[in-house]
A and B are shown apart, each in its own frame.
Chain A
Amino acid sequence: MDKTPQTTPQTDPRQSWTFSREVNSEIRRAAATGIYDIRGGGAKRRVPHFDDLLFLGASMSRYPLEGYREKCDTSVVLGTRFAKKPIELKIPITIAGMSFGALSGNAKEALGRGATLSGTSTTTGDGGMTEEERGHSEKLVYQYLPSRYGMNPDDLRRADAIEVVVGQGAKPGGGGMLLGQKITERVAGMRDLPVGIDQRSACRHPDWTGPDDLEIKILELREITGWEKPIYVKIGGARPYYDTALAVKAGADVVVLDGMQGGTAATQDVFIEHVGQPTLACIRPAVQALQDLGMHREVQLVVSGGIRSGADVAKALALGADAVAIGTAALIALGDNDPKWEDEYQKLGTTAGAYDDWHEGRDPAGITTQDPALMARLDPIAAGRRLRNYLNVMTLECQTIARACGKSHVHNLEPEDLCALTMEAAAMAQVPLAGTNWWPGKGGF
């Protein structure tokens, strides 16, 4: 008789896809604290994105331009519809609105420096305009937000453009909350509120509701500023066709369209991950609205939300945008989530690349904080140079692709230059699935 012990074969322990480790950890956290998770950044889930598109390049039917030799223009003019002084940019990449308060003064200065060195604009955020960013931003867009923190006619007049914020991609329909830890005397003073209390940023404007009112609000802003400044309207990626059409109807010079990968300083994780549409899904409906109104290129479209490279820029432009805006990528270029702070990220219970508790004000990189010791870690001059370098690289990448497609201006990129790797991306971008001449919905199928 064989005495060798028998071992019954076991299947490997199987984690549930539905109840993954990550899901379970959130359930435990919620059960322990009784409060939803608040964080910064944009959607972290995988959604169809620019990675799912490819450029076709030149071939027998179209010839390429010589890299480094033949000109490929990148200039863009924003606000040509009504403004007496449109904004002229050297590159089609702008810096998105981020607030002083959420970001340190040094970070705002660095954004202004980098943008100016690259010939583009930066944007204020909730909390008003600081001297750091006005002084270091050759072209500054002043956001007109529901909270109106720090809003005043002097800053309105010294802005180069005005951006009426209706929504943002991370949280269409939502406001914000700047927790008391970041409300220093300076931040509180700019917002007319006590030091150290949580500051709520309203989800809708206090003195208008709907596009008919907005039309009058825009009239007022133009009258106050002598019809000089371009007026942008920023919308979250909710109903891009109708929102774009209504923004145009209300009199916008520029529509800024922010998809769900666009970041925010702080909001509920459930909001970020479950409300709004991916950037890729928003562009074509918005462009269609402009085309239906005969306003494509007359009202410029700026797309944001997950733009990371010159390829992303080129793809957004090919789908019909006039320019893009970057936020999260710009912060990373400044030094956000840099692995050199890994020890400190670990102490905060996270790791470089995943740090998103921007609202807590303990950012080791000194960017999303008002702590003087942490803020001092960011050299605004060096960080501004890094942003300049990054913007230049993105521009060169975009030009490289445009030349390969035979375009002498990046705005000449077009949907016909693209194909999609997935059915979803093909449907959203309305470009053919690779290897076919068809996308879902084309021809009624």
Chain B
Amino acid sequence: MPVLDMLKTELREVNATLQSAAKAKGNEAYTIENPRGAHAMAVGLDGPISVTVKGSTGYYCAGMNKLATVHVTGSAGPGVAENMMSGEVIIEGDASQYAGATGHGGLLNIKGNASSRCGISMKGIDIVVHGNIGHMSAFMAQKGNLVVLGNAGDALGDSLYEARLFVRGAVKSLGADCVEKEMRPEHLEILRGLLERAGADAKPEEFRRYGSARNLYHFNIDHADAY
């Protein structure tokens, strides 16, 4: 397994190596050692490559990921897997703000907690957080699924569009236009699949579903006090 040691290798070379390997579609597995919180690590990968980061990362790790699997053994800084298109990103520790922001696809699997604005403006990504999530999570979330095994902070799902939110614990408060919805069989099925993929020890029946009331889909002056 090739090892890229960031004590000896510059970020540009690390990313260029990973990007080339991903493009070559060789299904290679790389290890990054001594990441020391570097920003923009393993970004823009476009192919079936596996990357294990031994340690913690800074901003935007695995940004715009396609097809690749990126596994961070420590914690991740802000914007991990931002705008991810496909593939899988696993964080063994905690994730900072904006985890999975604007993601279009793939699975972001956070084994610890996620800070505020997790899943902001998500556009199709699936996010599973084994711990808690912070305030304003799933703000303006458009598509995809956010699964939280722990609790959710204030203003969950504010100005939500069509994303589905599943929370097992307590929700401190719901944001504008976000409501609790009936958990139907098809939702339990989606949830079961996601929990299984994420290796989460939880049953779908333990969760509650939240979604958009769709009252703010068309501008109406009578809704001005919602903000």
**Residue-wise interface mask of B (111-148) relative to A, using a CB-CB cutoff of 8 A (1 in contact, 0 not):** 00000010011011000000000000001101100000
Asked if B79 is an interface residue, CB under 8 A from chain A, the answer is yes
Q: Could you tell me if A193 and B161 are in contact, using CB atoms closer than 8 angstroms?
A: yes
Q: Within 8 Å CB of A208, what residues of B?
A: 78-79
Known contacts A192-B143, A207-B120; is-contact A226 B16 (Cβ 8 Å): yes
Q: Which 3 A-B pairs have the closest CB atoms?
A: A224-B44, A207-B79, A207-B98
Q: Within 8 Å CB of B60, what residues of A?
A: 207, 216-217, 220
Asked if A162 is an interface residue, CB under 8 A from chain B, the answer is no
Interface centre among B40, B58, B124 (most CB of A within 10 A): B40
Q: Could you tell me if B39 and A194 are in contact, using CB atoms closer than 8 angstroms?
A: no
Report how far A151 CA is from B125 CA in the complex, Å: 14
> Using a CB-CB cutoff of 8 Å, which residues 36-71 of chain B contact chain A?
39-40, 43-44, 46, 58-60, 63-64, 66
Report how far A148 CA is from B123 CA in the complex, Å: 9
Report how far A154 CA is from B19 CA in the complex, Å: 13
Q: Within 8 Å CB of B107, what residues of A?
A: none
9 contacts between A and B (CB under 8 A): A152-B64, A192-B104, A192-B143, A200-B140, A202-B140, A220-B59, A220-B63, A223-B43, A224-B43
Interface residues on B, range: 35 or more
Q: Within 8 Å CB of B28, what residues of A?
A: none
Asked if B149 is an interface residue, CB under 8 A from chain A, the answer is no
Q: Within 8 Å CB of A177, what residues of B?
A: 219
Known contacts A148-B102, A148-B123, A223-B11; is-contact A35 B44 (Cβ 8 Å): no
Known contacts A206-B102, A206-B120, A220-B60; is-contact A153 B44 (Cβ 8 Å): yes
Interface residues on A, range: 20 to 34
Q: Within 8 Å CB of B124, what residues of A?
A: 192
Asked if A34 is an interface residue, CB under 8 A from chain B, the answer is yes
Q: Could you tell me if A148 and B44 are in contact, using CB atoms closer than 8 angstroms?
A: no
Which of A148, A200, A225 makes the CB contact (< 8 A) with B83? A148
Asked if A197 is an interface residue, CB under 8 A from chain B, the answer is yes
Q: Could you tell me if A206 and B117 are in contact, using CB atoms closer than 8 angstroms?
A: yes
Chain A proximity of B211: nearest CB distance (Å): 13
Report how far A193 CA is from B141 CA in the complex, Å: 10
Which of A35, A216, A223, A226 makes the CB contact (< 8 A) with B58? A216
Q: Within 8 Å CB of A179, what residues of B?
A: 219
Report how far A148 CA is from B98 CA in the complex, Å: 14
Q: Could you tell me if B218 and A224 are in contact, using CB atoms closer than 8 angstroms?
A: no
Asked if A147 is an interface residue, CB under 8 A from chain B, the answer is yes
Asked if A416 is an interface residue, CB under 8 A from chain B, the answer is no
Q: Could you tell me if A194 and B162 are in contact, using CB atoms closer than 8 angstroms?
A: yes
Q: Could you tell me if B43 and A220 are in contact, using CB atoms closer than 8 angstroms?
A: yes
Report how far A421 CA is from B120 CA in the complex, Å: 50
Q: Could you tell me if B59 and A216 are in contact, using CB atoms closer than 8 angstroms?
A: yes
Q: Could you tell me if B218 and A223 are in contact, using CB atoms closer than 8 angstroms?
A: no
Give the interface SS of chain B, mostly helix, strand, loop or mixed.
Answer: loop
Chain B proximity of A192: nearest CB distance (Å): 4
Chain A proximity of B114: nearest CB distance (Å): 13
Report how far A218 CA is from B39 CA in the complex, Å: 11
Q: Within 8 Å CB of A217, what residues of B?
A: 59-60
Report how far A226 CA is from B12 CA in the complex, Å: 8
Chain B proximity of A34: nearest CB distance (Å): 5
Report how far A180 CA is from B217 CA in the complex, Å: 9
Chain B proximity of A385: nearest CB distance (Å): 37
**Residue-wise interface mask of B (134-178) relative to A, using a CB-CB cutoff of 8 A (1 in contact, 0 not):** 000001101100000000000000010110000000000000000
Which of A156, A180, A192, A219 makes the CB contact (< 8 A) with B218? A180
Which of A147, A198, A213 makes the CB contact (< 8 A) with B217? A198
Known contacts A197-B217, A216-B39, A220-B60; is-contact A148 B121 (Cβ 8 Å): yes
Asked if B88 is an interface residue, CB under 8 A from chain A, the answer is no
Asked if B221 is an interface residue, CB under 8 A from chain A, the answer is yes
Asked if B82 is an interface residue, CB under 8 A from chain A, the answer is yes
Asked if A227 is an interface residue, CB under 8 A from chain B, the answer is yes
Asked if B110 is an interface residue, CB under 8 A from chain A, the answer is no
Chain A proximity of B226: nearest CB distance (Å): 13
**Residue-wise interface mask of A (175-215) relative to B, using a CB-CB cutoff of 8 A (1 in contact, 0 not):** 00101100000000001111001101010001110000100
Chain A proximity of B6: nearest CB distance (Å): 14
Q: Residue of A at shortest CB range from B59?
A: A216
Asked if B198 is an interface residue, CB under 8 A from chain A, the answer is no
Asked if B73 is an interface residue, CB under 8 A from chain A, the answer is no
Q: Residue of B at shortest CB range from A177?
A: B219
Asked if B32 is an interface residue, CB under 8 A from chain A, the answer is no
Q: Could you tell me if B123 and A192 are in contact, using CB atoms closer than 8 angstroms?
A: yes
> A180-B217, A200-B140, A207-B98 provided; 8 other pairs, C-beta below 8 A?
A33-B221, A34-B221, A35-B221, A152-B64, A152-B104, A206-B117, A207-B60, A223-B44
Q: Within 8 Å CB of A224, what residues of B?
A: 43-44, 63-64
Q: Could you tell me if A223 and B40 are in contact, using CB atoms closer than 8 angstroms?
A: yes
Chain B proximity of A322: nearest CB distance (Å): 28
Report how far A177 CA is from B58 CA in the complex, Å: 33
Q: Within 8 Å CB of B120, what residues of A?
A: 206-207
Q: Within 8 Å CB of A207, what residues of B?
A: 60, 78-79, 82, 97-98, 101-102, 120
Q: Within 8 Å CB of B85, what residues of A?
A: 152-153
Q: Within 8 Å CB of A192, what residues of B?
A: 104, 123-124, 142-143
Q: Could you tell me if B44 and A213 are in contact, using CB atoms closer than 8 angstroms?
A: no
